[in-house]
């Protein structure tokens, strides 16, 4: 079959690979119909995630048709159209029972924190992902959900990660009616966090980025105020100035490692200085929050993550939360919003590429060419 394969930093290509087989009775094989590229894939593409092996197939945001199922699978049968959350989880362990599906203990026992994720290196279990014609889906009775008849494939594929992750970010921010919410990052995750902040009762939503076309999109699509951080000298002062010198009730980090990279570039590689406190999004978030405020982190930090100004977290009495999204927990509510017309996830899709052109797709998304927000691969 044709599949995206990693060759090394900034090098991916679509080549032939053996089709996946049923390896366990609870596996399903899914023929992929749509597969997105995510900001998290860029961390792999940029070589920031350890143990990303040559030949690994990325892709944790996909929908498709069930082709075959293992002998113990009861809830799916060949021909079913499914959306598959990016988390692989067992549904029964201590953490799954608490609906912490992204922290499942059974699918990636070697890891201390994260559970299994499709196509996300051997640190997340080494499972091949869905940027391919076929993908093996373990725990097939647990994660996948049949796509309701009135949900389009384009909306469904955004419900495998970006949209629920944005919602998860807003939910972790514990937004109260009328709150001022600042979202760092106007990528798909940040955009959905902004939309979700409104759905959860925010009174004001401010989005920060430096890519002008994404800020324009945030302004128009999510009706947010926007700040281009290139125009701002001191982020915390600027945001306080916008909020009667109080700061934001809730700050959401939807950027993660990329900002560490930017800070490093700014300092031309003077790494020690970065550790002494260059401004990453986490610094901005902690310093821009009002006293008693909340910080929600869904941006992913690899080992490049830097020192957090933890003293300020304590002195300001902040609540700091983070997690990989528990996608399945949010699906019923989000599907309700989509069906009621309050949310149309597919509106963030800007590009479609045949799987053969996966290298171009990564390049365009990574370099923010051609006003790209969310690219979809079509096998
Ligand atoms: P993306 O790369 O499309 O968007 C990131 C945006 O952040 C870009 O528009 C970039 O210009 C902007 N940015 C860079 N530095 C910034 C800074 N200092 N301040 C403000 N904005 C800045 O990625 P995405 O798909 O939207 O994902 C965003 C983050 O969420 C990534 O770290 C990704 O790994 C993470 N993520 C987490 C989960 C989870 O479950 N926790 C799931 C999906 C994605
Ligand atoms: Zn993703
Ligand atoms: Zn589990």
229 CB under 6 A from ligand 1? yes
- Domain finish residue from 278, 302, 322: 322
Centre of ligand 2 from the C-alpha of residue 309, in Å: 27
Contacts of 371 (CB under 8 A, 6+ apart): 213, 350
Determine whether the shortest distance from the Cβ of 188 to ligand 1 is under 6 A: yes
Quick: pLDDT tens for 318-332.
888 878 899 999 999
Is the pLDDT assigned to residue 266 strictly greater than 60? Answer: no
Q: Which domain holds residue 286?
A: 163-322
Query: Domain check: are 177 and 102 in the same one?
Result: no
Q: Are residues 205 and 281 in the same domain?
A: yes
Say if residue 104's pLDDT is above 60: yes
The predicted model gives 214-241 an average pLDDT of: 96
Is the same domain home to 214 and 289? yes
How far away, in angstroms, is 59 Cα from ligand 2 center?
8
- Separation of CA 181 and ligand 3 centre (Å): 32
70-86 pLDDT, tens digit per residue, is 999 999 999 999 999 99
Is residue 345 within 8 Å of residue 159, measured between CB atoms?
Answer: yes
Q: What is the mean pLDDT of residues 119-146?
A: 96
Residue partners of 314: CB distance under 8 A and separation at least 6: none
Is residue 303 scored above 70 in pLDDT?
Answer: no
- Cα distance between residue 323 and residue 319, in whole Å: 14
The yes-or-no verdict on residue 203 having pLDDT over 60 is yes
Region 340-368 average pLDDT:
98
Considering the domain architecture, whether residues 277 and 360 belong to the same structural domain is answered as no
212 and 269: one domain?
yes
- Kindly report the protein residue whose alpha carbon is nearest to atom 7 of ligand 1: 185
Lowest mean pLDDT among 29-33, 103-107, 237-241, 245-249: 103-107
Determine the longest span between alpha carbons in the chain, in angstroms: 62
Closest CA to 105 of 118, 87, 130, 120: 87
Looking at ligand 1, which atom is closest to the CA of residue 301?
32
pLDDT in tens, 139-180: 999 999 999 999 999 999 999 999 999 999 999 999 999 999
Least confident of 93-102, 181-190, 207-216: 93-102
- Candidate ranges 179-183, 295-299, 302-306; pick with highest mean pLDDT: 179-183
Domain boundary among 322, 344, 363: 322
Give the CATH number of the domain where residue 251 resides: 3.40.50.720
Residue range 104-133: mean pLDDT, rounded: 89
Q: Based on the structure, what is the number of domains in the chain?
A: 2
Confidence of residue 20 (pLDDT cuts 50, 70, 90): very high
Element (H, E) at 196: helix 188-199
**Ligand 1 pocket test target in 189, 361, 364 with most atoms within 8 Å of CB:** 189
Q: How much of the chain is in helix, strand and coil states, percent to nearest 5?
A: 35, 25, 45
Cβ neighbours of 62 (radius 10 Å): 30
Q: Comparing C-alpha atoms, which of 199, 297, 310, 204 is closest to residue 251?
A: 297
Average pLDDT over residues 130-141: 98
- Indicate whether 307 and 186 sit together in one domain: yes
User: Which residues in 244-254 are b (16+ Cβ under 10 Å) and which e?
Assistant: eeebbbbbbbb
Residue 7: pLDDT over 90: yes
For ligand 1, atom 23: residue with the closest CA = 39
Does residue 275 share a domain with residue 127?
no
Mark whether 346 and 311 lie in a shared domain: no
Query: Which of 322, 342, 359 is the last residue before a domain boundary?
Result: 322
pLDDT (0 to 100) of residue 316: 75
């Amino acid at each position: 079959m044709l599949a995206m394969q990693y060759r090394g930093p900034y090098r991916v290509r679509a080549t032939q690979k053996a089709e996946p087989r049923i390896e366990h009775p609870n596996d399903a094989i899914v023929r992929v119909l749509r597969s997105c590229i995510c900001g998290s894939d860029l961390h792999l593409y940029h070589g920031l995630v350890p143990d990303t092996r040559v030949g690994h197939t990325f892709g944790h945001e996909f929908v498709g048709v069930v082709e075959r199922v293992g002998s113990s699978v009861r809830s799916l049968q060949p021909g079913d159209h499914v959306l598959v959350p990016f988390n692989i989880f067992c549904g029964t362990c201590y953490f799954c029972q608490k609906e912490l599906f992204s922290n499942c203990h059974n699918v990636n026992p070697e890891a201390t924190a994260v559970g299994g994720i499709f196509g996300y290196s051997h640190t997340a279990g080494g499972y091949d992902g869905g940027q391919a014609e076929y993908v093996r889906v373990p725990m097939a009775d647990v994660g996948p959900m049949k796509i309701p008849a009135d949900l389009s494939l384009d909306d469904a594929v955004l419900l495998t990660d970006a949209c629920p992750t944005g919602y998860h970010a807003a939910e972790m921010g514990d937004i109260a009616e009328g709150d001022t919410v600042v979202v760092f990052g106007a990528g798909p995750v940040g955009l959905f966090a902004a939309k979700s902040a409104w759905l959860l009762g925010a009174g004001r939503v401010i989005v920060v980025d430096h890519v002008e076309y994404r800020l324009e999109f945030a302004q128009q699509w999510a009706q947010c105020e926007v700040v281009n951080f290139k125009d701002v000298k001191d982020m915390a002062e600027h945001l306080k100035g916008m909020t009667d010198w109080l700061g934001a009730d809730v700050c959401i980090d939807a950027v993660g490692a990329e900002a560490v990279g930017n800070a490093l570039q700014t300092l031309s590689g003077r790494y020690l200085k970065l550790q002494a406190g260059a401004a990453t999004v986490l610094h901005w978030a902690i310093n821009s929050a009002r006293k008693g405020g909340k910080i929600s982190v869904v941006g992913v930090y690899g080992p490049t993550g830097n020192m957090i100004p933890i003293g300020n977290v304590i002195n300001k009495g902040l609540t700091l939360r983070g997690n990989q999204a528990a996608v399945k927990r949010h699906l019923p509510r989000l599907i309700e919003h989509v069906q009621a017309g309050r949310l149309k996830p597919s509106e963030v899709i800007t590009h479609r590429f045949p799987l053969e052109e996966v290298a171009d797709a990564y390049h365009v998304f990574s370099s923010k060419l051609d006003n790209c927000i969310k690219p979809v691969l079509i096998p």
